[in-house]
Structure 1
Amino acid sequence: MIDKLFRPLTGEVTVHMDAPPTVVWDLVSDVTRIGEFSPETFEARWIRGSSGPEVGAQFKGHVRRNGIGPTYWTLCTVTACEPERVFEFAVGNDEVTANNWGYRLEPEAGGTRVTEYFRVQPNLMMRAYWLALGPLRGRTNERGMRTTLERMKAVVES
């Protein structure tokens, strides 16, 4: 039981894309296109004066949990933005972050190694949630990340 409380609250999926990092970057950092790729987030828009990827920029994501519901909006804030390398954002309100999502890009074999990842905040509430539903949610997240990356791959390689 104690081991479960302290296991990592993270997951990631990596896919090679036959496209240069500049092309992949344009796709992963354009949150307004996420609805084309994600099985859960079907739209997003920049808010509060933000219009593109930069640290501190904010957007809202419209999510259909597990692809079926419930449906809700989430506030997201860009926390890392290094063109052609990393794009990460925190999900939560202005005071509390529930988790972080991101993409790491690395040049590889004439294309790009793209890793999508999530990191749940290790506070007591999220640890309790992860203890109860972590294995199921982790698998769902990993399936969703693979779907998202494969859909992106199809676009950048076409």
Structure 2
Amino acid sequence: ELQSARWAEGASGPAVGARFVGRSRHEQFGDWETTSTVVACDPEREFAWAVGDPAEPSAVWRFGLEPRDGGTALSQWMRMGPGRSGLSFAIDAMPEKEQKIVFVRLREFERGMTATLEHIRQRAEA
């Protein structure tokens, strides 16, 4: 979904507190922008950001790096909430379909994260 990102408010790179604007696209939801704040930045170990208000984000995303078998294992993790997100609005509009909405969205996240990790692996090994 993420199409591009740019540092905001004079930030020039990753550091805790730095903000960036992400532009996203989804076939059903259209195009949107979010502002995120870096909440963890430990080079060669972790990079995480909170979407929206860092005190009550709509989501927190994290990449983790761990030495393994002479190489590096990369993982990606995300947590929805506690703030509201597009998922919240979809559930508000169709509360009777909450389980299906959440199931479908989680599968989309899973496919997207798997593809992201694979693309990073390919670039790292090139």
TM-score, normalising length from structure 1?
Answer: 0.67
**Following the alignment from structure 2 to structure 1, what is the Cα–Cα distance between the partners of residues 5 and 42?**
20
Equivalent residue number for residue 119 of structure 1 = 79
Percent identity of equivalent pairs:
39
- TM-aligned CA distance change 1:95 to 1:83, over 3 Å: closer
Equivalent residue number for residue 64 of structure 1 = 25
Asked if residue 48 in structure 1 is aligned to residue 16 in structure 2, the reply is no
How far did 1:95 drift?
6.7
Determine if contact 2:22/2:36 at 8 Å carries over to the other structure.
yes
Question: Given the alignment, which residue of 90, 93, 105 partners 1:137?
Answer: 105
Equivalent residue number for residue 68 of structure 2 = 108
Asked if residue 155 in structure 1 is aligned to residue 110 in structure 2, the reply is no
TM-score, normalising length from structure 2?
Answer: 0.82
RMSD over aligned CA atoms reads 2.2
SS in 1 for 2:10: coil
The one of the two structures with greater contact order (alpha-carbon pairs below 8 A, sep at least 6) is 1
Q: Map Cα deviations across residues 91-117 of structure 1 (whole Å, 9 max, x no partner).
A: 114774100011011000111111101
- TM-aligned CA distance change 1:71 to 1:46, over 3 Å: same
**Following the alignment from structure 1 to structure 2, what is the Cα–Cα distance between the partners of residues 57 and 113?**
25
How far did 1:52 drift?
0.5
Determine if contact 2:45/2:65 at 8 Å carries over to the other structure.
yes
SS in 2 for 1:146: helix
SS in 1 for 2:49: strand
Ranges of 4+ aligned residues in structure 1 off by more than 4 Å: 93-96
**Following the alignment from structure 2 to structure 1, what is the Cα–Cα distance between the partners of residues 102 and 10?**
35
Equivalent residue number for residue 146 of structure 1 = 114
Q: Map Cα deviations across residues 79-138 of structure 1 (whole Å, 9 max, x no partner).
A: 011111110000114774100011011000111111101011235x56x83781221111
Number of equivalenced pairs: 116
Structure 2: 5+ residue stretches without partners? 92-96
